[in-house]
């Protein structure tokens, strides 16, 4: 009944809050549940976690990021001029993500990112403007907000909460992690939204003074590359933006319609601007080779390649981070700590360096150091991994309440480490609070006797389950003496059982689990 009421209230408020608005790009009328302020908030909450889980920001040459920001601003200003009749101004922002996977995305509210691996595939500033124009339309035309309204995106929750797929054992660190969460920002918006983004994106780039032919060239490059099936491409941009002959043809039509053949491409300027990335191409290729080798457990090659990467570009924190992961994997904990120190010096605000360094310090018996590292990691992006580790440390220090809090927080995520945290939490709490983990329901059987259906909802087996029953009046006062019943043997995780009583009057009867123990 209570659940029904709540659903009804939610439905009501949704009806009240939904406004009939005008799409800021197309000018069409549409029902809008998420306000511009909410869109901006969703973007602000998820921007940093999304960038972190996809590899962190590119920090070796901030001039490149500034350049991308300038081009983005030029296109964004143009979009405002094109949509001058709209009073909606989004606080556009863009960062370059340190990932070789070619990708770009926009969040609701105008927060955007482009990967290092896409920048190196583009041939001109106008192609960059085409990518950015396309992403600006996704944000401006509320494609992300609409996806969220349809329940396709995470409901307001933090992306970071889903990071912990690797479990709490650091052994799988190299294989897991980095790309988890990527799919959350590369939601498929659908064919119409993509065509709309192509069309208006090209309008914006022309208004900004870029030759729209670059958008056609870009799509042709995408089609060609997807036919070559470079795996990186398939997991990146193409997963959310399938290239197609249709998009090439449409862009060609749009370019003809918009004119602007005399507008600039900015090829030389682009080459100069990203020259640091071009120069470091071999270093990143070596890093990616090292990662691939490590995933195949060919650690000799992995070390050779990562050392090569460091030789070629000693200012890239990611290279030291990978070397730290390799050392951690080999249980060379002191070496791992030293490598992570190098990485942290170059990029203090990347959660994974601190998290992994915490694991290494824990193995070395440096509990205080480990705790500081996990806390720092958790302050950058809260992850179930850091929370589980902090919970274990708190428990070892005898701080039961703090441990419970950390475990509960980690257990909210649907991840391997979240499940481990749930087990830890249950072990800690079930003996004192069995009713929270083992539920009971009263029913009548065919003979008219009251039966108690017992369900062990805990993720672990329990035994010695004791249930008390008593009668209560309408005001909630107990009116009979308590009777005790016991479940024989043990109940596995998730197992149900039924106790048959001799009681025939269920009116006012209540049951509660009063005692239980962990089975092992």
Q: Where are the alpha helices (DSSP H) in 296-383?
A: 299-312, 317-329, 333-346, 351-363, 367-380
The site for Zn ion, by CB under 5 A, has a size of 3
Question: Which phi and psi angles does 275 have, rounded to 5°?
Answer: -60, -30
Kind and range of the H or E element at 440? strand 438-444
CB of 495 to Zn ion, least distance (A): 47
CB of 136 to Zn ion, least distance (A): 11
Dist. CA 185–CA 236, nearest whole Å: 11
CB of 81 to Zn ion, least distance (A): 22
Cβ closer to Zn ion: 95 or 194? 194
Cβ closer to Zn ion: 204 or 333? 204
x-marked contacts with Zn ion along 184-223 as a string, rule CB under 5 A:
----------x--x--------------------------
CB of 58 to Zn ion, least distance (A): 22
Kind and range of the H or E element at 111? strand 111-115
Cβ closer to Zn ion: 239 or 460? 239
| Interface region with Zn ion, contact rule CB under 5 A, candidates 91-99, 214-222, 237-245, 466-474 | 237-245
Neighbour tally for 414: CB within 10 Å = 12
Residues in region 313-352 near Zn ion by CB under 5 A: none
Cβ closer to Zn ion: 191 or 272? 191
Sequence-ordered list of residues with C-beta below 8 angstroms from that of 52, at least 6 positions apart, any chain: 160, 350, 351, 352, 380, 381
Dist. CA 312–CA 308, nearest whole Å: 6
Q: Is 228 exposed, middle or buried (0-12, 13-18, 19+ CB in 10 A)?
A: exposed
CB of 143 to Zn ion, least distance (A): 8
Paired tokens of 95: 């960062």
| Interface region with Zn ion, contact rule CB under 5 A, candidates 45-53, 236-244, 308-316, 334-342 | 236-244
Cβ closer to Zn ion: 50 or 290? 50
Torsion sign, CA atoms 498, 503, 504, 508: negative
Cβ closer to Zn ion: 201 or 321? 201
CB of 188 to Zn ion, least distance (A): 9
The length of the chain is 520
Name the nearest CA neighbour of 69 among 27, 128, 134, 152: 128
Cβ closer to Zn ion: 42 or 112? 112
| Interface region with Zn ion, contact rule CB under 5 A, candidates 201-209, 241-249, 443-451, 455-463 | 241-249
Cβ closer to Zn ion: 116 or 241? 241
Q: Is 311 exposed, middle or buried (0-12, 13-18, 19+ CB in 10 A)?
A: exposed
x-marked contacts with Zn ion along 140-179 as a string, rule CB under 5 A:
----------------------------------------
Dist. CA 326–CA 159, nearest whole Å: 27
Write down the residue that tokens 């949509």 correspond to: 83
Cβ closer to Zn ion: 25 or 302? 25
Cβ closer to Zn ion: 241 or 354? 241
x-marked contacts with Zn ion along 20-49 as a string, rule CB under 5 A:
------------------------------
| Interface region with Zn ion, contact rule CB under 5 A, candidates 2-10, 88-96, 238-246, 302-310 | 238-246
Write down the residue that tokens 């406004």 correspond to: 19
Cβ closer to Zn ion: 36 or 197? 197
DSSP letter string, 339-361: HHHHHHHH-TT-HHHHHHHHHHH
CB of 318 to Zn ion, least distance (A): 27
Long-range contacts from 228-235, C-beta under 8 angstroms, 24+ separation: 232/100, 232/101, 232/102, 232/117, 233/102, 235/101, 235/179, 235/182
Sequence-ordered list of residues with C-beta below 8 angstroms from that of 481, at least 6 positions apart, any chain: 470
Dist. CA 139–CA 43, nearest whole Å: 10
CB of 187 to Zn ion, least distance (A): 10
CB of 107 to Zn ion, least distance (A): 13
Cβ closer to Zn ion: 152 or 460? 152
CB of 112 to Zn ion, least distance (A): 11
Dist. CA 317–CA 306, nearest whole Å: 12
CB of 183 to Zn ion, least distance (A): 14
Name the nearest CA neighbour of 329 among 363, 305, 354: 363
CB of 233 to Zn ion, least distance (A): 15
CB of 30 to Zn ion, least distance (A): 19
x-marked contacts with Zn ion along 462-491 as a string, rule CB under 5 A:
------------------------------
Cβ closer to Zn ion: 247 or 287? 247
3-class SS at 259? coil
Q: Are the C-beta atoms of 72 and 90 separated by less than 8 Å?
A: no
Which residues contact Zn ion (rule: CB under 5 A)?
A: 194, 197, 241
């Amino acid at each position: 009944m209570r659940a029904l009421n709540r659903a009804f209230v939610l439905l009501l408020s949704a009806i009240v809050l939904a406004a009939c608005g005008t799409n800021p790009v197309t000018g069409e009328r549409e029902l809008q549940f998420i306000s511009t302020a909410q869109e901006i908030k969703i973007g602000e909450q998820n921007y940093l976690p999304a960038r972190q889980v996809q590899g962190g920001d590119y920090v070796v040459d901030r001039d490149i990021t500034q350049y991308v920001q300038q081009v983005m601003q030029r296109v964004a200003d143009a979009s405002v001029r094109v949509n001058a009749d709209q009073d909606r101004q989004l606080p556009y922002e863009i960062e370059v993500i340190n990932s070789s996977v070619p990708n770009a995305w926009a969040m609701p509210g105008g927060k955007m990112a482009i990967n290092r691996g896409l920048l190196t595939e583009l041939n001109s500033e106008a192609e960059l403007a085409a990518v950015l124009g396309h992403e600006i339309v996704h944000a401006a035309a509320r494609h992300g907000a609409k996806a969220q309204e349809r329940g396709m995106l995470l409901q307001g929750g933090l992306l970071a909460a889903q990071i912990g797929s690797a479990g709490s054992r650091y052994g799988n660190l190299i294989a897991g992690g980095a790309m988890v969460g990527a799919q959350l920002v590369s939601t498929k918006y659908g064919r119409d939204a993509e065509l709309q983004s192509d069309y208006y994106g090209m309008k914006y780039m022309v208004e900004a003074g870029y030759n729209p032919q670059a958008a056609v060239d870009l799509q042709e490059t995408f089609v060609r590359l997807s036919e070559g099936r470079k795996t990186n491409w398939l997991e990146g941009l193409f997963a959310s933006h399938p290239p197609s002959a249709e998009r090439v043809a449409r862009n060609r039509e749009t370019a003809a319609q918009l004119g602007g053949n005399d507008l600039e491409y900015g090829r030389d300027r682009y080459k100069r601007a990203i020259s640091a990335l071009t120069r470091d191409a071999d270093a990143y290729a070596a890093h990616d080779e090292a990662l691939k080798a490590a995933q195949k457990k060919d650690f000799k090659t992995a070390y050779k390649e990562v050392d090569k990467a460091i030789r070629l570009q000693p200012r890239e924190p990611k290279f030291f981070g990978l070397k730290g992961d390799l050392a951690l994997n080999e249980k060379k904990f002191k070496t791992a700590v030293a490598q992570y120190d190098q990485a942290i010096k170059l990029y203090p605000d990347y959660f994974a360096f601190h998290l992994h360094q915490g694991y290494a310090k824990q193995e070395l018996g440096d509990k205080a150091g480990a705790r500081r590292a996990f806390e720092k990691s958790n302050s950058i992006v809260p992850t179930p991994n850091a929370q589980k580790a902090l919970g274990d440390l708190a428990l070892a220090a005898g701080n039961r309440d703090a441990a419970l809090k950390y475990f509960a927080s980690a257990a909210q995520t649907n991840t391997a480490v979240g499940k481990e945290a749930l087990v830890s939490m249950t072990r800690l709490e079930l003996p004192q609070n069995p009713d929270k983990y083992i539920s009971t329901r009263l029913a009548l059987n065919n003979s008219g006797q009251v039966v108690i259906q017992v369900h062990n909802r805990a993720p672990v087996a329990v035994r010695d389950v004791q249930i008390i029953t008593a009668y209560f009046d309408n005001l909630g006062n107990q009116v009979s003496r308590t009777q005790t019943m016991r479940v024989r043997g043990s109940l596995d995780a998730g197992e149900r059982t039924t106790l048959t009583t001799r009681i025939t009057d269920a009116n006012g009867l209540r049951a509660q689990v009063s005692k239980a123990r962990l089975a092992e």
